Amino acid sequence: MSEHILIADDDKDIASIIAETLSDEGYIAHIAKNGIEALEIMKTKQISLFILDIMMPELDGLETLRQIKKESDAPVMILSARGRDIDKVIGLQIGADDYMSKPFSMDELIARVNAHMRREHKKNSDIVKFGEIELRKSTFQAIVSGNPIDLSVKEFQILCFLIENKGRVLTREQIYYAVWNDAYGGDINTVTVHIKNIRAKLGDSAGMLKTVWGIGYRMESGV
C-alpha cells in the first residue's frame, strides 16, 4: 500500500514538482497551499510524511508543525528559503525530523524521504497493535490501554500470533506449532492454559480474544 505524503507550500510550481517526483517514486502526494489546508487534509488522509515550507500565508510552517505533532507521529521535513540557522533550530526543537534549505536538489529530497520511510517501516514492523493492545516484539513489552502488563514469553508470542492473524480462526494445533515450533511431541492443551492466562491479564480487552468452540481462537473487535 502506497504511503501518503503531504506537501504544504504556497509556491505552486515547487509543490507540483515535488508531488510529481514523489508520484514517480510510488508515493501518493497531496498538495496544500498553506498550513490551514494541510491540517484539513490531515483529517481525511493517513499521512505518512509531511513536507512543510516555513513561509506560508495564513498559517506558517512552524505553527503547522506544532499542530501536526499534537495529532501525528509521522516524520516532518521543513523547507525554508531563509537559510537561517534559527529556523532550523526552532523547527527541530518543536518536532521536525529533517530540514532542507531552498534551493535544494530533488534527488537529495527524494533520498531523504525514502530514508525516513525505511525508518518508519522498521519501527512499525516491531510494533503490533489491535484495539487497546500494543505489543513491542523486540523487547517483549505488552501494553493495554496505556498500561504495561506482565506476559510470559509464550503468552506474548501467542497473543502476537493471534493479533497478526486477526479475524482468522486459529486452531490450538496451529498456535502450538507457531509458538513452540513443534508439530508433534507436545501437549496442545497447554495452549488452552496460556489463553486463559492471557485473558486474565488483558482486562477490558479480553473480550476481543474469542473462543470458536470446537475449532480454536480468533481476535476480533468488539466484546
Here the cell at position 213 is 468452540
Rounded distance between C-alpha atoms, residue 198 and residue 200, angstroms = 5
Run of H or E residues at 145: none
Here the cell at position 154 is 509464550
Residue type for 112, please? Answer: R
**Listed residue (67, 24, 30) closest to 48, CA to CA:** 30
Here the cell at position 96 is 521536525
Could you list the mean pLDDT of each consecutive 10-residue stretch along the chain, which spans 223 residues?
A: 89 95 95 96 94 92 93 91 71 87 91 91 82 90 93 95 92 90 71 96 94 93 62
**Listed residue (165, 154, 139) closest to 201, CA to CA:** 154
Q: What is the pLDDT of residue 184?
A: 54
Q: What is the pLDDT of residue 37?
A: 97
Q: What is the pLDDT of residue 10?
A: 93
Rounded distance between C-alpha atoms, residue 57 and residue 33, angstroms = 8
Residue 216 phi, psi (nearest 5): 170, -130
Q: What is the pLDDT of residue 94?
A: 86
Q: What is the pLDDT of residue 84?
A: 67
52 close to 99: Cβ distance less than 8 angstroms: no
**Listed residue (192, 151, 194) closest to 172, CA to CA:** 192
Helical pair 85-93 and 61-71, crossing angle rounded to 10 deg: 20
